[in-house]
A and B are shown apart, each in its own frame.
Chain A
């Protein structure tokens, strides 16, 4: 791609100071999104997906968390070096985020109108809007997310809404200021499968209508396959593989990615798979070298010692694994 990326994360290191020491959660994350793309981010719970996203908007809880290295460029500017006032321009306007659990993401003691209204008010620089104006502007995104009876919604409290409605409200709030990049952190995970489906379709439609770029975080491979252009696979605080979606599914390279694919239960033959033996590493004392080596069936000596860099196997496919050191085939896919 020759156009400059919309978002570029370079070598991001994030540590959490906890009682027993330091959790070295993010260990050199690299991540790029181009304008107009839908990029998927898959990985199991605890691999650092949400931490990475929260670092972009700098909403990590900063006493325990520390960003110890790296840069995050959004349209050329390093977000990590911005001061509060400048960040304000980006949050909600340039980049917006939808949280994993819509119930936790809404303030329980304020009405939807009050929260949405605040987002509306502060998305406009300099002008103070009247209550009426705020109300009128707030109804618009609610209608866009297909809320029944938006006026009554504004006077409701989150506890009065169903899970699906809460998720829609969160999406509405994220789209108020027409962001260029939308981060969707496992939307619909906490909901019914049918509702999840509705939400994903809604997102799909909105993304198309508004030409936003999307980072879609999920641990459901099927969703990724249907909706994204490119996919990153993340493990234990590092990206291990990135490819165009079709390439990833037809030719998974990293042993972890292969394990993930194999773990998906199939309806036809094969039955229930075994899963990947072992567990995600302890971030207090993460393994040296490649963080996946304790669970990797193809681990070599060098994997214990050095961190694998990304090897580019084609224009659209990179993998961080010593198996592909020489641009080679690695092991044959069975």
Chain B
């Protein structure tokens, strides 16, 4: 019951925040000087056509009325027409969003597994050379922006070593898998097309890795710090003193409390990944929502910009709620602090 109440409360808050966000975006979009209708139709369209479009777009109404129309449409899934692609923004989103999700998911998985793994390794061999190497690497990972890694990988693996393909999601001539989830790798697996899966994976791995580096480094640092902190805690010594074998302590009783801070920052790392995806997708020409978003921003495609920000906002909030749930699962002190008996 408490769990349900927590989730319900968070969703409720999220709705408010999203509403506020939409207002914010809306205000920003309308701040732009110039006439959106004119921009949409071009300089040579006759004025009466532009005026008609202005009526249709409700541009002469007061701002809050405009917002009302926009909101109503948005809730029905209609985000307007994109200036750039000349079709419904909703359609664009549906086409490009899965590619970004695939990228960000793999990046998240890599950074989580590798980050925690490296951090643990570092803590177990504290101050020895393994630890020092990992620490240097982690530091480098944190200060290097993702787009630098992207360029680096592109150069190294794509062009110099020619191990991995540089552009797109699939090589020419490779058949697209049927669309179950929109994630090509998953779809290919589900359809049993292993060659396609392998090809899609090869295209996915470089951008995902570039995206994952920063978060991986961050998580490795925090895991290492937490673990080496917890290693000196009394309860670990007590567990040893009571005869629990070292491997059980390391693998179970030390691991769980040490994961808590790392998982907690996962939300922030995810936000960073979503941000960095903008540049990484650009560099690898990955057909995802972020690349679409960047183009929209450069061309001042207001409808597309609003939709992209909203979608990303929803994604981010959802991930945050999920992360909070996991942290509560790991750490009973959070959910039980009201139930303490002393």
Q: Are chains A and B touching in the complex at the 8 Å CB cutoff?
A: yes
Contact across chains for A57 and B240 when beta carbons are under 8 A apart = yes
- How distant is B237 from chain A, measured CB to nearest CB, in Å? 4
CA distance A115 to B239 in the complex (A): 8
**B242, A173: Cβ atoms closer than 8 Å:** yes
- Could you tell me if B234 and A99 are in contact, using CB atoms closer than 8 angstroms? yes
- Judge whether A92 and B233 touch: CB under 8 Å: no
Q: Which residue of A lies closest to B246 (CB)?
A: A84
Please tell me if B336 contacts chain A, counting CB pairs below 8 Å.
Answer: yes
- Give the interface segment out of A22-30, A36-44, A156-164, A283-291: A156-164
B245 CB–A CB distance under 8 Å:
yes
Given the known inter-chain contacts A92-B241, A107-B253, please indicate yes or no for A61 contacting B336, CB distance below 8 A.
no
Q: Quick check: A122 and B256 within 8 Å, CB to CB?
A: no
Please state if B241 and A96 are interface contacts (CB–CB under 8 Å): yes
Binds A, one of B46-54, B295-303, B325-333: B325-333
Pick the contact of B242 from A54, A119, A161 — CB < 8 Å? A119
**Residue pair B336, A157 in contact (C-beta under 8 Å):** yes
**Which residues from chain B contact A193 at a C-beta distance below 8 Å?**
none
- From A57, A108, A163, name the one whose CB has the most chain B CB atoms within 10 angstroms: A108
Contact for A104 among B231, B235, B342, CB less than 8 A: B235
Q: Which of A84, A88, A108 is B333 in contact with, Cβ under 8 Å?
A: A108
CA distance A159 to B240 in the complex (A): 21
Q: Which of A107-124 contact B (CB under 8 A)?
A: 107-110, 115, 118-119, 122-123
Total cross-chain contacts (CB, 8 A): 97
Once A63-B127, A105-B238 are accepted as A-B contacts, the answer to whether A110 and B256 lie under 8 Å apart by CB is yes
Set A101, A105, A106, A160: member contacting B341, Cβ < 8 A: A160
Q: In the complex the two chains form, is A174's CB within 8 Å of B242's CB?
A: yes
Q: How far is the CA of A110 from the CA of B332 in the complex (A)?
A: 8
The contact string, 1 if C-beta is below 8 Å from chain B, for chain A 140-168, is 00000000000000000101111100000
Contact A160 B336 (CB under 8 A): yes
Instruction: Give the contacting residue for A122; candidates B245, B331, B333, B340; CB below 8 A.
Output: B245
Across-interface contacts of B342 in A (CB, < 8 A): 161-163
Closest to B234 in A: A104
Other-chain residue from B234, B235, B243 in contact with A119 (beta carbon distance below 8 A): B243
Query: A165 to nearest B CB, angstroms?
Result: 8
Q: Determine the residue in chain A with the shortest Cβ distance to B238.
A: A105
Task: Quote the shortest CB–CB distance from A154 to chain B (angstroms).
Answer: 14
A65-97 vs B, CB cutoff 8 Å, 1 = contact: the mask equals 000000000000000000010001001110011
Could you tell me the dominant secondary structure of chain B's interface residues? helix
B244 sits at the interface (CB 8 A): yes
B window 250-301: CB within 8 A of A: 253, 256-257, 260
A54 near B237 with CB under 8 A, answer yes
**Cβ–Cβ contact A107 & B235, under 8 A:** yes
Cβ-defined contact, B253 with A160, below 8 A:
no
Q: Which residue of chain A lies nearest to B242 when distances are taken between CB atoms in the complex?
A: A92
Report the minimum CB–CB distance from A320 to chain B (whole Å). 29
Q: Answer yes or no: B248 CB below 8 A from chain A CBs.
A: yes
B332 touches A109 (CB 8 A): yes
Q: Which of A109, A119, A123 counts the most B-chain CB atoms under 10 A from its CB? A: A109
Q: Which residue of A lies closest to B126 (CB)?
A: A63
Residue pair A105, B243 in contact (C-beta under 8 Å) = no
A106 contact set on B, CB distance < 8 A:
235, 238
A100 CB → nearest B CB, Å: 8
Establish whether residues A118 and B241, one from each chain, have CB atoms under 8 Å apart when the complex forms: no
Q: Is A199 an interface residue (CB 8 A)?
A: no
Closest chain B residue to A91 by CB distance? Answer: B243
Asked if B339 is at the interface of the complex by the 8 Å CB criterion, the answer is yes
A177 with B243: CB separation less than 8 A = yes
**Cβ 8 A contact of A109, one of B243, B331, B337:** B331
* Residue picked from B126, B233, B244, B257, most chain A C-beta under 10 Å: B244
Q: Is the CB of B241 within 8 A of A59?
A: yes
Pick the contact of B238 from A61, A97, A159 — CB < 8 Å?
A97
Asked whether A170 is an interface residue with its Cβ less than 8 Å from the other chain, the reply is yes
Specify which chain B residues have a CB less than 8 angstroms from the CB of A92 in the assembled complex: 241-244
CA distance A184 to B332 in the complex (A): 28
- Pick 26 A–B contacts, CB within 8 A, sort by A: A61-B231, A84-B246, A88-B245, A91-B240, A92-B241, A92-B243, A92-B244, A93-B243, A96-B241, A97-B238, A97-B242, A99-B238, A105-B235, A107-B253, A108-B332, A118-B248, A122-B248, A123-B243, A157-B332, A159-B340, A160-B341, A161-B341, A162-B341, A163-B342, A170-B238, A176-B242
Which residues of A pack against B, CB within 8 Å? 54, 57, 59, 61, 63, 84, 88, 91-93, 96-97, 99, 101, 104-110, 115, 118-119, 122-123, 157, 159-163, 170, 173-174, 176-177
